[in-house]
Amino acid sequence: MTAIAQPASLGAAGALAELGRATIHGLGWSVLIATMAPSGSVLAAFLGGFGGCLIGAKLGRTRLRTSAVVVGAVLLIAMVAVLRSSLTHGSVLAAALGPVGALRFAGTLTALLVAAIGSAAMRAGSKRRAIFAVFELLLVAVAFAQLFIPHRHGAINRPFYLADWIIALGWDPTWLFLFMGGTATVFGLVLLLREQRFGRAVLNLGVVALLLAMIVVATPMIGMPPPPAGGGGLGLRPDQSEGKDGKSDKQERGGPSASELEFRNRYNTGGSRVPVAVVLFHDDYSPPSGVYYFRQGAFSQYNGRKLVVSGRQDIDNDLIPYFPTRLIEVENAPSVNDNRGPLETTIALMADHRQPFALEAPIEVEPLENPSPNRFRRVYRATSGVLTADYTSMLDGRLGSQDWSKEQWAHYTETPPDARYAQLGAEISAGLPEGLEDNPIAQAFAITGWLGREGIYSLKNEHSGAEDPTASFLFGDRTGYCVHFSHAATYLMRSLGVPARVATGYAVSESARQGGSSLLLSGGASHAWPEVYIDGFGWVVLDVYPERALDPAEQPMDADLQRLLGELARGASPIPLSATDLPRIKELARRMTLTAGAWFLALLASLIALLYLVKMWRMLAPSWAGAAQLPRVVYRAELDRIGEVAIRREFGESRESFAHRIRDRLPSFAPLTTAHVAAVYGEHEADPHQLRHDAANVRRDIRDRFPLWQRFLGLLTPWSWLRSK
């Protein structure tokens, strides 16, 4: 028979690539269940994914239909679910191991089988169709994504089991997550690489590594990826669709802009849990209302439908007009007296804002050096005249300012032409106790109290389409959110001659400080509230607190995250290290080392065990192989055996040339090679008895020509079969 040059197989490069892919499968499955199962199940998932990927690679070369592989995988997973249920409900296993032991065993077995079946199906499919490689990529993406789900919404202190030890060392855990995200990206790209040439695959991975290195280098220059702003419907922060000119798509279509408050039927507070700023209190302060109000904007001009930002220069000039580049004093700031006292705060913004905000009534503002540019957009200090008097002391006050002109008075008391506002305001005032029914400040308090009792808070309402959304709310179902309540209160107060406006910013309960000196503001804290001007007090917040709500209450921010971001805003290490901290750091390092070492040894032992299993399977495969597969598996088994004594085919060498080269040492290998090549090219059907006889002759030649110690060492080497080609 004429010798035909055989195409070079993947050999060592192909085997290593397949093992790398199997390792990625194993890591993907283990990471996927890491937060849901004990360590035993995590290890079982790794082994299942690793072994299943190798089995799937073999399965993909069979004639079994792809649809049969997918359907079979679904049925097998269903059978695993039934098996798990039977093992944990009244089985002999539950009686023998106890409830906890049975659950652990069932969980470990389920993780092993599901990972093996899933990886086998995905790998078998990807060997045939490129679309199945996407499912492999999804495995990695979902695994790493769920690992960092607790890190979403700017919670840089989560997940605790990853972030705690980094924070304890005074580092920013975001760098770890960037690194692990890059690792996941590399894993995903490896799964998508379908190159079979080892050199090309290495080149591709080198390019990927270079790109990741560029990202790491560029990150300190451009800053960390910012969290989504979210919840910016009150105009506190720029709309995400705004372009370089500062205008959003809505503005260009004639919709609401930063100078307007938008009435929405279904107000979506997406991203409401995202931190947008952290405030540091330089002194303790407890507001009379129990709520901290951080004012950013004011809406006082009636435009025929709602209140908008005034265009007059002498109106609402108690706000901070722009981000300072030096110390600036706020125009028309309230005087510091018996009613208001000074309080310094440091405000670190984690999201872009249209203009600065400060606690209640700012007096002066100055920029500060940003202690963490990767975390904060800008940092500034604000001194505010915070309210220290109680509300009862305001009853004897006088509305408005002595310096106001008639035009200013008219501006702050203008109401819609609808007579129902004045009528309802008078009805509410009539319910005041004797002696207070004509007190305008008491009337303002009565209005907010009435709205709190009669109104229903809900982000889902149906008023925005009305000609007067506030009238639709107030004289309709009285169901709305802060924009509706603040407009209604302001109109009712103005109808009684009380100068009032709507202010916007952030409102956070005092209890959210949780005893600390920092306060974290989220997008969900965005708020609009009514204010009245009282001489000697300035603009005073008279908010409405609805007693009924259709939406769930906002949950407080994470106390650990609040403290951590507060420390970062101060420019301090998250946990400053001291002599007393060193033992804890050493103990943490020791535990991490032991844990990492245990995992490494477990993975190494599992990998060695798997290599031994594959080696044993390749050696024993001729015992149960069919006639069609026998020439290949017999040849492969004996090729592994001669590889154990360091005789291997060289790269590019044909099988016939290899058999000819080693004929002096192993003459019996040539007939086995001839039978294998003939069977591959279909020249004739091999005789099973003759194949097994030739294989026995090869084993005899190995025993006769190689010492026992060399054969024993080759047998103990678990990876010897990887170099067979």
Q: Where residue 629 falls among pLDDT bands split at 50, 70, 90?
A: confident
165 burial (CB, 10 Å; 0-12 / 13-18 / 19+) is middle
The answer to which of 120-134, 233-247, 655-669, 702-716 has the lowest mean pLDDT is 233-247
Work out the widest C-alpha separation in the chain, in whole angstroms. Answer: 122
pLDDT of the residue at 247: 45
The answer to which of 111-120, 168-177, 548-557, 573-582 has the lowest mean pLDDT is 573-582
Q: Per-residue pLDDT for 216 more than 70?
A: no
Q: Per-residue pLDDT for 266 more than 80?
A: no
**CA–CA separation, 723 and 643 (whole Å):** 7
pLDDT of the residue at 164: 55
pLDDT of the residue at 9: 39
Hey, how many other C-beta atoms are within 10 angstroms of the C-beta on 119? 31
Q: 3-class SS at 48?
A: helix
The answer to which of 123-127, 259-263, 469-473 has the lowest mean pLDDT is 259-263
Residue 671 preceded by cis peptide, ω within 30: no
Hey, how many other C-beta atoms are within 10 angstroms of the C-beta on 547? 12
**CA–CA separation, 656 and 671 (whole Å):** 10
569 burial (CB, 10 Å; 0-12 / 13-18 / 19+) is buried
The DSSP H or E segment spanning 71 is helix 66-88
Q: Per-residue pLDDT for 635 more than 80?
A: yes
Q: Per-residue pLDDT for 62 more than 70?
A: yes
Q: Per-residue pLDDT for 249 more than 50?
A: no
The answer to which of 115-119, 344-348, 554-558, 585-589 has the lowest mean pLDDT is 585-589
**CA–CA separation, 471 and 388 (whole Å):** 35
Which residue do the tokens 């603040």 mark? 486
Q: Per-residue pLDDT for 710 more than 70?
A: yes
pLDDT of the residue at 276: 87
DSSP string covering 120-158: HHHHHHHHH-THHHHHHHHHHHHHHHHHTGGG-TT-TT-
Summarised one tens digit per residue, pLDDT across range 309-367 is 998 989 998 999 899 999 999 988 888 888 999 999 999 998 888 899 999 899 999 99
pLDDT of the residue at 294: 95
pLDDT of the residue at 241: 46
Q: What is the mean pLDDT of residues 119-126?
A: 87
Q: Per-residue pLDDT for 130 more than 90?
A: no
Q: What is the mean pLDDT of residues 131-138?
A: 72
Instruction: Give backbone dihedrals phi and psi of 500, rounded to 5 degrees, phi first.
Output: -145, 160
Contact yes or no for 156/564 (Cβ under 8 A) = yes
Q: Per-residue pLDDT for 686 more than 80?
A: no
Q: Where residue 703 falls among pLDDT bands split at 50, 70, 90?
A: confident
Q: 3-class SS at 397?
A: coil
Pairing of strands 378-387, 362-368: antiparallel
User: Does residue 149 or residue 457 have the better pLDDT?
Assistant: 457
Beta bridge partners of 480: 457
**CA–CA separation, 357 and 505 (whole Å):** 7
**CA–CA separation, 655 and 725 (whole Å):** 9
% of the chain surpassing 90 pLDDT: 26
Residue 463 has what DSSP assignment?
Answer: -
% of the chain surpassing 70 pLDDT: 74
pLDDT of the residue at 599: 72
CA angle 198, 204, 210 (to 5 degrees): 135
Q: Per-residue pLDDT for 168 more than 60?
A: no
Q: Which two tokens stand for residue 43?
A: 């290890």
**CA–CA separation, 206 and 191 (whole Å):** 15
- The closest of 169, 154, 216 to 521, measured between CA atoms, is 154
Q: Per-residue pLDDT for 440 more than 50?
A: yes
The answer to which of 166-180, 340-354, 593-607, 681-695 has the lowest mean pLDDT is 166-180
pLDDT of the residue at 242: 46
Q: What is the mean pLDDT of residues 651-666?
A: 84
Q: What is the mean pLDDT of residues 228-233?
A: 51
pLDDT of the residue at 6: 38
pLDDT of the residue at 384: 94
Amino acid at 624: W
Q: What is the mean pLDDT of residues 40-50?
A: 84
Q: Per-residue pLDDT for 498 more than 70?
A: yes
Summarised one tens digit per residue, pLDDT across range 82-122 is 888 777 666 566 666 666 777 778 888 888 898 899 889 88
Hey, how many other C-beta atoms are within 10 angstroms of the C-beta on 466? 14
Mean of pLDDT over the chain = 79
C-beta pairs of 484-489 under 8 Å, 24+ apart in sequence: 484/263, 484/455, 485/451, 485/455, 485/457, 485/530, 485/544, 485/546, 486/528, 486/529, 486/530, 486/544, 487/261, 487/306, 487/307, 488/451, 488/455, 489/447, 489/448, 489/451, 489/530, 489/542, 489/544
Residue 399 has what DSSP assignment?
Answer: B
Across 157-281, where does the E strand assignment appear? Answer: 275-281
- The closest of 530, 655, 613, 453 to 47, measured between CA atoms, is 613
User: Does residue 235 or residue 683 have the better pLDDT?
Assistant: 235
User: Does residue 53 or residue 147 have the better pLDDT?
Assistant: 53
Interacting residues of 261 by C-beta distance below 8 A, sequence separation 6+: 234, 235, 299, 306, 307, 308, 483, 487, 502, 504, 528
pLDDT of the residue at 270: 52
Summarised one tens digit per residue, pLDDT across range 282-305 is 988 999 999 999 999 999 999 999
The answer to which of 260-269, 326-335, 657-666 has the lowest mean pLDDT is 260-269
Contact yes or no for 408/314 (Cβ under 8 A) = yes
Please tell me which of 73-87, 157-171, 215-229, 396-410 the model is most confident about, judged by mean pLDDT. Answer: 396-410
Please tell me which of 13-22, 57-66, 139-148, 416-425 the model is most confident about, judged by mean pLDDT. Answer: 416-425
Q: Per-residue pLDDT for 161 more than 80?
A: no
Interacting residues of 181 by C-beta distance below 8 A, sequence separation 6+: 144, 148
**CA–CA separation, 286 and 265 (whole Å):** 35
**CA–CA separation, 12 and 198 (whole Å):** 9
Indicate whether this model's pTM tops 0.75: no
pLDDT of the residue at 429: 92
pLDDT of the residue at 614: 85
pLDDT of the residue at 202: 56
Interacting residues of 387 by C-beta distance below 8 A, sequence separation 6+: 287, 288, 339, 340, 360, 361, 537, 540, 541
Across 510-604, where does the E strand assignment appear? Answer: 518-522, 526-534, 538-541, 548-549
Please tell me which of 176-185, 382-391, 554-563, 603-612 the model is most confident about, judged by mean pLDDT. Answer: 382-391
The DSSP H or E segment spanning 200 is helix 198-222
